[in-house]
Amino acid sequence: MSNFDVIIVGSGAAGLSAAITLARTHKVLVLAKGDLAGGSTAWAQGGIAAVLDAGDTFENHIDDTMVAGAGLNRRETVEFVVENAPAAIERLEEMGVPFNKEAEVLHLTREGGHSHRRIVHVDDATGWAVQDALQKTAAAHPNITMQPNMVAIDLIADRHAETSTGTKNVWGVYALNNATGRVETLTSRATIMASGGAGRTYLFSTAPRGATGDGIAMAWRAGARVSNMEMMQFHPTCLYNLEVKNFLITEAVRGEGGHLLNPRTGKRFMEFYDSKRMELAPRDIVARANDAEIKQFGLDYVHLDISHETPEFVKNHFPNIYDKLIGLGIDMTTGPIPVVPAQHYTCGGILIDLNGRTDLPGLYAAGEASESGLHGANRLASNSLLECFVFGDAAARDIAAHWDDMPEPPAIRPWDESRVTDSDEEVVIKQTWTEIRRFMWNYVGIVRTTKRLERAQHRIDLLRGEVEEYYGHFRVTQDLIELRNLIEVADLIVKSALARKESRGLHYITDYPDLLPEAEDTVLTP
């Protein structure tokens, strides 16, 4: 058993932000299940939203966030995040993030749903620059230990104590060390779940392979409520390519003037879906428009075209996307890019308050694993990295402020492997994983019906039994841990979708096409 002050599950924007604040006073262990830069943070393209222009106001950013979120957002959270955004950008600049500037002033780009230019960015690869700066800052701090290749399996709670404490406290995690194949008992007074989203529940997703909702599933199993899991965001413009399946084409391409075209007619089609905001309507509207065009015309993809701008303009704004596409034989300076919608962001998650606290004492959450009330029914573009910085910092401050009230972990039983053997049927994992992702895509996607949701629920109930049986008999591997979490999260998504009897934001269900008068969160209680 190894003991730390605080354990943070996740080395992305949320986890490292929390670690850097906490390290002033506490010893922190940061876990990543693969590489430290393996989460979504490093893949972010567009940038980070913040009011930094004299012509813009906090009120504008708050309104845009609430409009995109279809009124489901919690206003105090939106205010908290928006008002803390400029300070978050300043901290990142101090850590060395080389944001683009023009004449010493931060360059602000534009994305869908934003009424003003307010996205700071590093070319079209903002996430990589942010991840790099956070990692270097964390690595230089003696109070931070970063441990890659360590897969958290379950939260440690009272039922794992040698002697019951009769509390609901969380005291760290059991984690599989991929290097040794052993499960370690890692205890702490406080634990922060910063484990990212659940995009890989879907067949097509822009998210990295590890986005299997582990933290959401772990917190749920430990007894924490989750909220708004039906609000799965689909990005309108993922590259359509038979070799490269999940490459995002940033929304900033539309922000800088790109048009969506129907490849059959060669004409712009957004006027039929949102004639005022056109390609810069919020993401749920544009994704549904792309999906509708593809289905109505029997297409494989729609076109995203910015070739009416000069080649210099395109290459200057989107150097990484340009290079990637050229490598695939697509020249975006002379012709359109084939794109399709794909799952992109998990708006729901572990329910937290303004201090990142969950229902369970000692357990905090931040970033994409959490549901803070910021995004409501649909996340406004480039608000999520921002949420990671603000809530990572808030959770860290709350832990430091309440440290003396947090009990030391009791003696914890080690992981019991006495009744399991090595699996001889790994194909079962692959088969079940593919099955889940396929029916989630087909039955719980951009446009839903009650009948399809019920079909998905039925399949989940069948597969859950099989996965649990498998989990009970065989030694854990990363794939098995992820599969167990994937089925848990799929279940939460479908149950939440069935519970919402209206169409709001990202949840569009043909049986209930209208909006109910009151916006209410879908909160599931274990």
* Binding status of residue 382 toward ligand FAD by CB under 6 A: yes
Number of residues counted as binding ligand FAD (CB under 6 A): 44
Residue selected from 66, 92, 156, 248 as contacting ligand FAD according to rule CB under 6 A? 248
CB closer to ligand FAD out of 20 and 453: 20
Tokens of 339: 């794109």
* Binding status of residue 45 toward ligand SIN by CB under 6 A: yes
315 near 333, Cβ under 8 Å?
Answer: yes
| Among 482, 507, 39, residue whose Cα is nearest residue 217 | 482
Q: How far is the CB of 174 from ligand FAD (least distance, A)?
A: 10
Q: How far is CA 487 from the centre of its chain?
A: 17
Per CB under 6 A, which region of 169-177, 250-258, 400-408, 429-437 contacts ligand SIN?
A: 250-258
d(CA 207, CA 482): 15
* Binding status of residue 378 toward ligand SIN by CB under 6 A: no
Contacts of 30 (CB under 8 A, 6+ apart): 8, 10, 11, 15, 16, 19, 36, 138, 144, 145, 146, 147
* Binding status of residue 109 toward ligand SIN by CB under 6 A: no
Q: Which does 410 bind (CB under 5 to 8 A by kind): ligand SIN, ligand FAD, none?
A: none
Tokens of 23: 């390290």
Phi, psi of 166 (to 5 degrees): 70, 20
* Binding status of residue 11 toward ligand FAD by CB under 6 A: yes
Encoded one letter per residue, x for contact with ligand SIN by CB under 6 A and - for no contact, window 490-519 reads ------------------------------
Number of residues counted as binding ligand SIN (CB under 6 A): 8
Render 22-40 in DSSP notation, one character per residue.
Answer: HTTTS-EEEE-SS-TT-SS
6 near 22, Cβ under 8 Å?
Answer: yes
Q: Which position's Cβ is nearest ligand FAD?
A: 12
d(CA 337, CA 358): 42
Binding positions for ligand FAD, 125-184, rule CB under 6 A: 126-127, 150-152
The two beta strands, 119-120 and 108-109, are antiparallel
Q: How far is the CB of 457 from ligand SIN (least distance, A)?
A: 29
Residue selected from 5, 56, 154, 251 as contacting ligand SIN according to rule CB under 6 A? 251
* Binding status of residue 46 toward ligand SIN by CB under 6 A: yes
* Binding status of residue 43 toward ligand FAD by CB under 6 A: yes
369 near 193, Cβ under 8 Å?
Answer: yes
Q: How many Cβ atoms sit within 10 Å of the Cβ of residue 39?
A: 31
Binding positions for ligand SIN, 383-402, rule CB under 6 A: 384
Per CB under 6 A, which region of 188-196, 246-254, 261-269, 392-400 contacts ligand SIN?
A: 246-254
CB closer to ligand SIN out of 19 and 252: 252
| Among 399, 402, 391, 354, residue whose Cα is nearest residue 369 | 391
Q: How far is the CB of 235 from ligand SIN (least distance, A)?
A: 6
* Binding status of residue 346 toward ligand SIN by CB under 6 A: no
**Residue 143: helix, strand or coil by DSSP?**
coil
- Please list the active-site residues: 283
